[in-house]
Amino acid sequence: MRQSLKICIMIILASCALAVGAQEKLPLKLIATTPMPDFTGDFDHFGVDLKGSRLFLAAEDHKTVEVFDLRTGKRIHSIEGFGHPLTMAYLPESDHLIVTNGDTDDLALVDCKNYKIINTLKLGKGVDHSAYNPVNKYFYVENGGGPDAKTHALAIIDTRSFKIVGEVPGLSGDSNEGMVIDRAGKKLYVNLTGSD
């Protein structure tokens, strides 16, 4: 019994030593900040253009999508014309950005050469979260829910034609709080917060 107790104490002490050593090598390191003195309120999701070194940020309260240079961290443009920008996906093949627009319950298609909205696509109430599948080029968008709704749906948008090509109806609860698609593009995981 005493030998077992000694071994347990040694294992605990060794674990603590490993944990302390692991804390010295932090997994993330702050390398820069970008001050935004004129901005207040909430920011939502990001989109990224790796080839063009741009980061897109939904500035909800300002009703804009802000564009940053990834190399310098500087804000280089402010895209206007949104009701309530939320989530987005950058489409490298066309140099377009597709943005969910909460207050107007639509999607906005942005030409990233001149930073202008070139098209919109009306969806049902409750437009919010989205996920882009780079394998089949489909964009899945939460809609059809909203306050007090028992169910909601996902609209399936073909990003090449910017048209609705399907729907996943009857998801439980009034909304979801995020989605992710596996790397093979075959499975979509949806966090159904409305139904826990």
Neighbouring residues of 124: CB distance < 8 A, sequence distance ≥ 6: 105, 143, 144, 153, 155
The overall average pLDDT reported for the chain is 86
- Residue 12 is predicted with a pLDDT of 53
pLDDT at 196 over 90: no
Tokens read off for 35: 């001050």
pLDDT digits (tens, 9 = 90+) for 100-118: 998 899 999 999 999 999 9
pLDDT at 4 over 50: no
- Residue 2 is predicted with a pLDDT of 46
Q: What is the pTM of this model?
A: 0.81
pLDDT at 35 over 80: yes
Cα separation, 146 vs 169, in Å, equals: 14
Q: What percent of the chain has pLDDT over 90?
A: 59
Phi first, then psi: give them for residue 85, nearest 5 degrees: -65, 135
Beta strand segments in the chain, E: 43-49, 54-59, 64-69, 75-79, 85-91, 96-101, 106-111, 116-122, 130-133, 138-143, 151-158, 163-172, 179-181, 188-190
pLDDT digits (tens, 9 = 90+) for 118-138: 999 999 888 999 999 999 999
Cα separation, 114 vs 38, in Å, equals: 23
Neighbouring residues of 185: CB distance < 8 A, sequence distance ≥ 6: 133, 134, 135, 136
- Residue 89 is predicted with a pLDDT of 96
pLDDT digits (tens, 9 = 90+) for 140-172: 999 888 777 888 899 999 999 999 999 999 888
Cα separation, 31 vs 128, in Å, equals: 31
